[in-house]
Structure 1
């Protein structure tokens, strides 16, 4: 409980510090109350820091006091954010301040009411501080400073080496059923010399964990590796507990490992309490929720680190320590796409949160409301009741079971969205709701969104995969909004043009549509006209730029110096391409991902013209300043208008480019060879119209780091050949045939499988026949016996394949 309370107080202190810096704007007398609250909460925060380092359990009296501190921190945070909301104009400058004066005058009564609440809050803070002394809740003794670390354990290579040692331990145990010398290899890689100081103790613990609790022993070794300040005394204490509680070895080991997490990492792990029933959890969604809830802090010495990068570090740490395990990974390498928790870890998280009065004693208000809203949405009727039911996934709207819009049912009960709105209307004035995820919810109307837009504290709003069609202008009231997700919706495109959200970091939109067998389009929303005011924007994809607005809107995008991911949809005129390339050049230092969809042909496409992402004049364009840190590139031209066989020459200089997806680019064999020379390319997706020739051949020395190759209905008849020493790290090949034609596979259709030394899986999708059983014979002769996956028309073409990742994925 001390961990979560400390996080709440820490967040409040940052807000109070900012308020004091702007005290000249506050109503008279309030700044003194705020200073008093800050000083008191600062002292309480120091006390809580001591509590988080205690090894003893917190008694009931201490837990009750910490719950009071946590509640008052949330209330103070809510009051301060509401008070400061209307004090700052959304723009800087004298005229912006003049335009903001009506808002200041209009909100004077509301701010006076909040000022009175702050004065009452001051008295309450004083009472909580005196109550600690009155009941003898004393400050624990400070722990001695940890000893310095002799080994460098922070590098990814050292961690990978340690994890490989643990994998050997697991493999040896599975094959022999007894511990092997591999345990010693893992122990010797610990960051301090435990083999000498506590080798005997670790051996005793190993005896109690192996063979029945191998995973517990691995988790313990991970904790000892990640926390470089462990002591022999702590391990002896753990051994004593295992002797006394032999039947509960996994739980005692997890308690020990949990104690080695930092305060904020504990809070992030406790946050998963709200999602214990989910089959999988999206990494990006989880990290953004952590940030929205204020659970993430930057690492010391990394002032330039973004909050989302800090959240990624927290996620990776929880995975490394074994509390969270990978469910799916991206095609480009080891990066985790989604995760879940083992049943034993789930039970532990429940127990630890209950013991810290996080669940059993009542959830904090902002979590409590989130859970209630989730349960309401979860209870909606299913559209197809005959289908096998699966848990509704709060993290990913695509995993939600489709819902039917419903009005009041026969029993007179309200539609779930009406219940949600009713609950939101009953929120107390100073209440904050940071996260609202309605992904997969049907029956969501504009009137519901108007009510949602009155909850001004929302930082994360997901309408993904809902049937919402209009976005009210009241969306601009959500001035704290950081993430707006409207993917897989039929939202009116112009509804986003009027969005002005100064704190917006992620705008996610777009839905792929297939019209017949040939045309694949991306429907999405328009670019916000004043996107330049959202200077914190990091992700902007996918947004449409209309002709006549390309230059002014892209000029604003060029000023977003924190933009990491950009996805645009526009027509293919020469001027449009020129403006786009100029913008990309301006973002060369920050851009990591780029997606460009050309929706209409250039004016002279029928007279020999074409589309290519290159400035032919070579001036004032991307050639002089390419996006040198670009990692992902997605290109789709209007069908039949690309310059055949050509790739923008600046692609060859992208040393960090790891993922490429092409549509309708009419790539030639020479273009494929250019891609093969990219040093960092791990994932290549060739979709419909991306390649012009009948043969795809990976030559010797090409694609040195390629791991995933997708060939999706490129042309009716095609042959694939892998020469010796081509793509030495290729692990997975997915080949999707034209669904209108039966594919006959025979010798030579796909050749050189034996040359792919790292191949693990071959997936063939479509209507095909292997006349000579050639594929199975080739895989059987492969030294690693790759897996063959097959999908046929009756099942494959009813929906997206397992390998297909939406263009709007982030």
Structure 2
């Protein structure tokens, strides 16, 4: 049985600290409650050690699996209790000082007494659950005599070492390219290291083996050696294996500091070829790299890794090259599948063509997926069997841990830190092949507490690590090399859906209303896009208990959105892109809500009391019919991302000190221009302004950014009818990315955009016109010259007119 601890330790790790913070606050806990909180804090700290031990096991029995499930569910409920505590007792009010504040707190204590007794009762229930979990662990001696830390009995990559190079599909060009890279002297006889990197199952070992055997056959090297490391290596044994392959028959010695000099002694005066397969960590590479002297004899090392970052570490002065292995083309994948599934046949039987096309699309060019699925289906003749086993290979009830594809993916998953596992599983919420906007993803991670520091930079680093490990694919990099969007390969998506279901991390259902299991729903994803009748409103699932749901995400039709009054602890409500009417009844009672997206829906008005959502961090109503935000919005002291699109802001925006991102109309109810008011914000980093003038053509208002304004903004986007923008000296000193989107060019001879030379930190400029006219082309020419005067790299200047680049 696969270990299903998953992201659990991340939850349990954070809770003791959260309970400790609760004890340090000013709240006067009821008699006995403080003691119960201390008990939970200590008991969870003890459970944490057991959880970490379970994570070290490769397998464990059903009793341990059940115990882990109980710990996970009680950990969620304790965290919900903690987050609700201050809100139910003090209404979420901030701690203040003075007599008036003391009087207010005294009144609050009296009025909140019923809630306090409810809190104490809930805490007693949680304590009893924790006690029973602890008793169960002791009763069955869980974490002591269960599981095994042994290596997998079969290495699923082993077959790649014995593939006949002549039978490879789609690798001829890759073998040629890597061989040339390895052998290219470049005028130097120094040591050259070539690292092959790519996602699990992409054929790294197969490619490295083909290159290694080809170079061995040339007899240009005096000696050669191959070792495979893996995620849990015995480095002493690894170095001994290398010695054996180099002809050192003496197997004595257990100290690696003695073994490494023996390897170096053999290689010191020889031109050698080494292949180090499956490197997982910098520590592993740091040790094995010490075995290879740079003897200036033209020696070569080939490495493979799933982590793009590892090959660049510990190379010292050696020449180093990274080869990123790509996926198979559609034709290559088809050829390989037919060869594996039908042997000598060149075509798929007619009755299986549709199923074959679907299965091949799911494999999406991943060689191991193609080979594994083709082997599963080789002796199956019916279309039903093909669709059953080919489209549900990883998460059907027929899959088990012995499946090579799933096992290889599980190695990558197990190697992640708990926080990264949670972040990866979170992508199972989005439909397959979704292009998920980075901002949307990281803000949701933070809203649900998956990022420990609640910091966007930390969240971006986590995303980059998942990308570097080839578990997530980046799309459309910006000037900082941060992807604007990302997605996961279909095979990895299947895997994370499988793990998410096992861990009860997220509950995914579709338009056919697949029955939700009887587990407590923690995250709900409703995907109605697959409904052939999606124009018709879909009924809600009225029987599902969503009182413990932390996030609700709906794709397709808004009518499937659960009743908001049922969502007691929801942190994320995401209806982005939903069609049809949206009911917001009960929205302002979602006291823990941190992320609300109504982007692209038919919403035309926000509730007047939206300012009651004191925990709200992100509000997105772009591309809706909302024309004006309610005045109460300024009470949202924790709001960091206010994305209102073309909607007008209320007065008093200077009160919203936490704002980091803002998208809005360039005017408020009483102000002709919002720029001066926004200049008072010292945390604002991203700004998008909509200027849609109602004046007659030729009488557009000039958009001016005054001197010394917007000192902290790093990204600025302006959308308006025609170019009439001026940047004065010392404005926007930190802006790095500027996007100007105009509907049409200017009718007169003026340039329309001036003062670009004052944007001293500008790195990336995007200028777009929706219409091709003389004014647009004149502005393009003028802006290009101004941008070149700033010495911008041409790859970071994007000029588009009517969708065409210039």
TM-score relative to the length of structure 2: 0.60
> Deviation of residue 264 (structure 1)?
0.7
**1:223-262 paired onto structure 2 within 5 Å:** 225=311, 250-262=405-417
Q: Are the counterparts in 2 of residues 258 and 266 from structure 1 also a CA contact under 8 Å? A: yes
Correspondence for 1:30: 33
The alignment status of 1:631 with 2:766, answered yes or no, reads: no
Contact 2:648 2:669 in 1 (8 A): no
CA deviation after TM superposition for structure 1 residue 658, in Å: 3.1
Per-residue CA distance 1:52-93 (angstroms, 9 max, x = gap):
3x1522332222111111111111122222222143453434
1:297 is matched with which residue: 431, 452, 469? 452
For the pair 1:432 / 2:569, whether they are aligned, the reply is yes
Map 1:198-209 → 2, pairs under 5 A:
203=275, 205=277
1:268 equivalenced with 2:430 (yes/no): no
Q: Kindly tell me: are residues 103 and 375 of structure 1, through their superposed partners in 2, closer, same or farther at Cα, counting changes over 3 Å?
A: farther
Could you say if the C-alpha distance between residues 694 and 263 of structure 1 is closer, same or farther in structure 2, counting changes exceeding 3 Å?
A: closer
Match of 1:156 in 2: none
3-state secondary structure, aligned to 1:138 = coil
Distance across 1 between alignment mates of 2:728 and 2:752: 13
Shift of 1:125: 1.2
CA distance in 2, matches of 1:74, 1:396: 16
**Structure 1 range deviating more: 467-476 or 247-256:** 247-256
Q: Secondary structure at the match of 1:654?
A: coil
Query: Which residue of structure 2 lines up, in the alignment, with residue 78 of structure 1?
Result: 80
Contact kept, 8 Å, 1:292 with 1:434, in 2: the verdict is yes
* 1:712-737 C-alpha deviation (Å, 9 max, x unpaired): xxxxxxxxxxxxxxx3x468653329
Deviation for aligned residue 1:273? 2.5
Asked if structure 2 preserves the Cα contact closer than 8 Å seen for 1:506 and 1:538, the reply is yes
Cα distance change on mapping 1:105 and 1:227 into 2, 3 Å: farther
Partner residue in 2 for 1:134: 139
Counterpart of 1:111 in structure 2 is: 116
**Following the alignment from structure 1 to structure 2, what is the Cα–Cα distance between the partners of residues 609 and 436?**
38
Output one character per residue of 1:582-601: Cα deviation in whole Å (capped at 9) or x when no partner: x52x546x443334455669
Residue 541 in structure 1 maps to residue 663 in structure 2: yes
Q: Which residue matches 1:684? A: 766
After superposition, give the CA deviation of every residue in 1:726-756 in whole Å (9 maximum; x if it has no partner). Answer: x3x468653329xxxxxxxxxxxxxxxxxxx
For residue 111 of structure 1, give the secondary structure of its aligned residue in structure 2: helix
TM-score, normalised relative to structure 1: 0.59
Separation of aligned partners in 2, 1:126 and 1:132: 10
Report the equivalent of 1:50.
53
The answer (yes or no) to whether the contact 2:621–2:643 under 8 Å persists in 1 is: yes
**Within the alignment, does 1:649 sit opposite 2:729 as a pair?**
yes
> How is 1:373-772 mapped onto 2 (pairs within 5 angstroms)?
374-375=526-527, 382-383=534-535, 415-417=559-561, 420-421=562-563, 424-426=564-566, 432-445=569-582, 448-498=583-633, 500-510=635-645, 523-527=646-650, 529=652, 532=655, 534-542=656-664, 545-546=667-668, 548=670, 571-572=672-673, 579-580=676-677, 584=679, 586-587=680-681, 590-597=683-690, 612-615=704-707, 621-622=708-709, 627=711, 630-635=713-718, 647-651=727-731, 654=733, 657-661=736-740, 663=742, 674-675=756-757, 680-687=762-769, 695-696=781-782, 698=784, 702=788, 706=792, 727=794, 729=795, 733-736=799-802, 763=805
Q: Judging changes above 3 Å, is the alpha-carbon distance between structure 1 residues 139 and 539 closer, same or farther for their aligned structure 2 residues?
A: farther
What is the distance in 2 between the residues matched to 1:79 and 1:37?
12
- 1:148 equivalent in structure 2: none
Q: What is the match of residue 489 of structure 2?
A: 342
Quote the Cα distance in structure 2 between the aligned partners of 1:614 and 1:106. 50
Residues 437 and 130 of structure 1, relative CA distance in 2, 3 Å threshold: same
- d(CA) in 1 for partners of 2:65, 2:776: 62
Distance in 2 (CA, whole Å) between partners of 1:204 and 1:528 is: 64
Distance 1:46 1:679, change over 3 A: same
Deviation of 1:107 (Å): 2.7
C-alpha distance in 2 between matches for 1:206 and 1:479:
49
Answer whether contact 1:461 1:485 (CA < 8 A) is retained: yes
Cα offset for 1:639?
6.2
Q: In structure 2, which of residues 18, 23, 32 is the aligned counterpart of residue 20 of structure 1?
A: 23
TM-superposed deviation, 1:676: 10
Shift of 1:218: 5.8
Change (3 A) 1:329 1:496: farther
Aligned 8 A contact 1:265 1:314 in 2 = yes
Whole-angstrom distance in 1 between the partners of 2:450 and 2:483: 21
Asked if the contact 1:366/1:434 (under 8 Å) is kept, the reply is no
> What SS class does the counterpart of residue 323 from structure 1 fall into?
coil
Q: Is the 8 A contact 2:196 2:304 kept in 1?
A: no
User: Using the alignment, how far apart are the partners of 2:592 and 2:430 within structure 1?
Assistant: 22
Contact 1:377–1:438 (CA<8 Å) still a contact in 2?
A: no
Partner SS for 2:474: strand
Cα distance, 1:530 vs structure 2: 6.8
Correspondence for 2:306: 220
Name the SS of the counterpart of 2:687 in structure 1.
strand
Q: Measure how far apart 1:343 and its partner are.
A: 2.2
Paired residues of 2:428 and 2:496 also in contact (CA < 8 A): yes
Asked if 1:314 corresponds to 2:462, the answer is: yes
Long gaps (5+) in structure 2: 150-168, 183-191, 199-226, 230-234, 243-273, 280-302, 315-367, 376-402, 508-515, 538-550
Residue 690 to residue 630, structure 1, CA distance change in 2 (3 Å): farther
What are the superposed Cα offsets for residues 425-480 of structure 1, whole Å, 9 maximum, x if unpaired?
456xxx522221122334435xx312243333322221111212232234344332
Alignment partner for residue 67 of structure 1, among 59, 69, 77? 69
Q: How far apart, in 1, do the equivalents of 2:12 and 2:37 lie?
A: 14
Give the match's secondary structure for 1:484.
strand
Secondary structure in structure 2 of the residue aligned to 1:84:
helix
User: In the alignment, which of 443, 446, 456 is matched to residue 288 of structure 1?
Assistant: 443
Q: In the alignment, is the contact (CA less than 8 A) between 2:33 and 2:123 conserved in 1? A: yes
Q: Which runs of 5+ in 1 are unaligned?
A: 145-169, 208-216, 229-241, 299-305, 386-394, 406-414, 511-522, 551-570, 616-620, 708-726, 738-761, 765-810
CA RMSD of aligned residues (A): 4.9
Determine helix, strand or coil for the equivalent of 1:487. coil
Would you say the 8 A contact 2:599–2:620 is kept in 1?
yes
* Conserved? CA contact 1:676–1:702, under 8 Å: no
- Contact 1:396–1:439 (8 Å) recurs in 2: no
CA contact under 8 A between 2:433 and 2:488: conserved in structure 1?
A: no
- Cα distance change on mapping 1:26 and 1:376 into 2, 3 Å: farther
- Listed one character per residue, the Cα deviations across residues 107-143 of structure 1 (whole Å, up to 9, x for unaligned) are 32122112112122212212211221111013699x9
The offset of 1:486, in angstroms, is 1.2
1:613/1:16 CA distance change after superposition, 3 Å: same
Say if 1:289 and 1:134 are closer, same or farther in 2 by CA, change over 3 A: same
Closer, same or farther in 2 for the Cα pair 1:220/1:697, shift >3 Å? closer
